[in-house]
């Protein structure tokens, strides 16, 4: 996808662009023609079944967003007022919101600077008698070290909510990401490997948790008298049209993941020699790098991510900043939730990290051009 700007040598490169095939369009059209356009239709059950098979879990529940999935997960596990849940400080705000909306208390854990995931050595020291669960988010590229996290959960009898939105399609030690949690959650936003426009999924192996999640996404209708509701739920349903798109996209997920890895690997080849930035490698001892996004972190004192973003925009290269840490969120400062907390790694990544265009349609010569400009600015 290229759009000429003022100069013939400069093009417009968005950060992301959905990969929609003719099969996807046909599947959506068929769903619309069937008359099943709302949240009750055959494509939803097919999508849930096929997704479970892909993740290697027993059950899945399709919902309206990744945020919805997290909120349902927290309530389905019986989290109550004043319970504590450990969450990454460096992640999307949805993790914290899911906890706060249950009147529970999010306990923040800083990230590490090696792969930007949760700092595992800080987890146990943050556990108290009130701790009931951990939410672990796989950030941008590599999965968390799940064997170590599972060991901690087992030792302290904690639930694990695995937010695998950014790593759909890769393994950690030969086990599919999204199959580790008591509940695992996914987002199908437009920039994900699999998209339904907006949408999400919960996945699990426990039937009682599955039934609870299904009820919560659908207003907790009564079993005998439908309109005698048995709990406080939500209308977080996915439509049959969205499910038709997701079902079609799932058939192509391995191809999309392979292409994203190729894009990330090529960026690594072009940028890794630049000592003024950090880019994560194609693999580590436990997993491949999925390169959901191709993130770079600028070495301190060179320039901030905001400065680099502004300079790249002059060359037609769109970027997006890294997550802003939870303890620095304006809304939480107003609420005085994380008062006087410091998390230096998260604060550093937020100010010096950004991600580059890495959409499916990106070609090698596009990456050559983008990398050349990045290296030129950060020389």
Tell me which residue of 101, 164, 99 sits closest to 132, measured CA to CA: 99
User: How many other C-beta atoms can be found within 10 angstroms of the C-beta atom of residue 284?
Assistant: 15
Element (H, E) at 86: strand 84-88
Two structure tokens written together for 243: 């499910």
- For residue 165, what pLDDT is reported? 97
User: How many other C-beta atoms can be found within 10 angstroms of the C-beta atom of residue 114?
Assistant: 12
Distance CA 346, CA 90 (A): 5
Three state DSSP letters for the chain: CCCECCCCCCECECCCCCCCCHHHHHHHHHHHHHCCCCCCCHHHHHHHHHHHHHHCCCEEEEECCHHHHHHHHHHHCCCCCCCEEEEECCCCCHHHHHHHCCCCEEEEECECCCCCCECHHHCHHHCCCCEEEEEEECCCCCCCCHHHHHHHHHHHCCEEEEECCCCCCCEECCEECCCCCCEEEEECCCCCCCCCCCCEEEEECCHHHHHHHHHHCECCCCCCCCCCCCCCCCECECCHHHHHHHHHHHCCHHHHHHHHHHHHHHHHHHHCCCCCEEECCCECCCCECCCCCEEEEECCCCCCHHHHHHHHHCCCECCEECCCCHHHCHHHHHHCCCCCCCCHHHHHHHHHEEEECCCCCCCHHHHHHHHHHHHHHCC
Please determine, for residue 258, whether its predicted confidence score (pLDDT) is greater than 70. yes
172 φ/ψ angles, rounded to the nearest 5 degrees: -115, 115
The pLDDT tens digits of the residues spanning 177-217 come to 999 999 999 999 999 999 999 999 999 999 999 999 999 99
- For residue 242, what pLDDT is reported? 98
When pLDDT is averaged across residues 90-99 and rounded to a whole number, the result is 98
Largest pairwise CA distance in the chain: 69
Domain ranges of the chain: 22-250, 253-377
- For residue 339, what pLDDT is reported? 84
Higher pLDDT, 5 or 128: 128
Two structure tokens written together for 216: 């919560």
Please determine, for residue 266, whether its predicted confidence score (pLDDT) is greater than 50. yes
- For residue 302, what pLDDT is reported? 78
User: How many other C-beta atoms can be found within 10 angstroms of the C-beta atom of residue 45?
Assistant: 14
Q: How many Cα neighbours within 13 Å face the side chain of 290? A: 26
When pLDDT is averaged across residues 230-252 and rounded to a whole number, the result is 97
Please determine, for residue 231, whether its predicted confidence score (pLDDT) is greater than 70. yes
* CB of 109 closer than 8 Å to CB of 123: yes
- For residue 355, what pLDDT is reported? 97
- DSSP for 266-308, written as a single string: HHHHHHTT-TTEEE--SB-SS-B---SSEEEEEPTTT--HHHH
Please determine, for residue 313, whether its predicted confidence score (pLDDT) is greater than 80. yes
The pLDDT tens digits of the residues spanning 1-59 come to 344 444 455 568 999 999 999 999 999 999 999 999 988 899 999 999 999 999 999 99
The residue whose two tokens read 């030969």 is 174
Q: Mean pLDDT score of the chain, rounded to an integer?
A: 95
- For residue 316, what pLDDT is reported? 95
- For residue 35, what pLDDT is reported? 92
- For residue 11, what pLDDT is reported? 64
When pLDDT is averaged across residues 279-296 and rounded to a whole number, the result is 97
Distance CA 323, CA 127 (A): 24
pLDDT above 70 coverage of the chain, percent: 97
- For residue 10, what pLDDT is reported? 56
Q: Using 50, 70 and 90 to split pLDDT, how confident is the model at 62?
A: very high
- For residue 301, what pLDDT is reported? 74
**Domain boundaries 22-250, corresponding CATH code:** 3.40.640.10
Two structure tokens written together for 24: 């996807």
Using N-to-C axis directions, what is the helix angle for 253-271 and 240-250, rounded to 10°?
Answer: 60
Q: What's the pTM?
A: 0.95
Domain range 253-377, CATH class: alpha beta
Please determine, for residue 293, whether its predicted confidence score (pLDDT) is greater than 60. yes
């Amino acid at each position: 996808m290229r759009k000429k700007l003022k100069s013939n040598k400069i093009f417009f490169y968005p950060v992301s662009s959905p990969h929609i095939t003719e099969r996807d369009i046909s599947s959506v059209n068929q769903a619309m023609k069937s008359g099943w356009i709302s949240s009750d239709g055959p494509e939803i059950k097919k999508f849930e079944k096929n997704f479970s098979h892909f993740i290697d879990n027993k059950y899945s529940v399709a919902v309206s967003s990744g945020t919805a999935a997290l909120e349902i997960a927290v309530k389905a596990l019986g989290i109550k007022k004043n319970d504590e849940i450990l969450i990454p400080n460096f992640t999307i705000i949805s993790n914290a919101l899911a906890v706060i909306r249950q009147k529970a208390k999010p306990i923040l854990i800083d990230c590490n600077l090696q792969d930007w995931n949760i700092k595992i050595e800080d987890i146990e020291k943050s556990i108290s008698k009130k701790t009931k669960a951990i939410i672990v988010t796989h950030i941008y590229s590599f999965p968390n070290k799940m064997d170590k996290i599972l060991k901690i959960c087992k030792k302290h009898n904690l639930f694990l909510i695995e937010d695998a939105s950014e790593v759909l399609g890769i393994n950690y030690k030969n086990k599919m990401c999204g199959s580790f949690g008591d509940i695992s959650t996914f987002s199908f936003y437009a920039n994900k490997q699999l998209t339904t426009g907006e949408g999400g999924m919960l996945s699990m192996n426990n039937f009682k948790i599955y039934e609870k999640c299904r009820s919560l996404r659908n207003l907790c209708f009564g079993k005998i008298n439908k309109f005698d509701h048995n709990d406080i739920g939500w209308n977080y349903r996915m439509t049959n049209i969205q499910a038709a798109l997701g079902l079609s996209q799932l058939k192509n997920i391995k191809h999309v993941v392979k292409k994203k890895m190729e894009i990330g690997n090529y960026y690594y080849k072009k940028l890794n020699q630049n000592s003024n930035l950090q880019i994560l490698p194609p693999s580590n001892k436990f997993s491949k790098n999925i390169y959901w996004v191709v993130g770079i972190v600028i070495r301190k004192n060179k320039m901030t991510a905001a400065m680099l973003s502004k300079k790249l925009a002059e060359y037609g290269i769109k970027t997006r900043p890294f997550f802003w840490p939870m303890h620095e969120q304006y809304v939480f400062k107003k609420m005085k939730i994380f008062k006087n907390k410091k998390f230096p790694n998260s604060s550093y990544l937020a100010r010096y990290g950004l991600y580059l265009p890495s959409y499916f349609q990106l070609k090698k010569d596009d990456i050559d051009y983008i990398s050349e400009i990045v290296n030129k600015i950060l020389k």
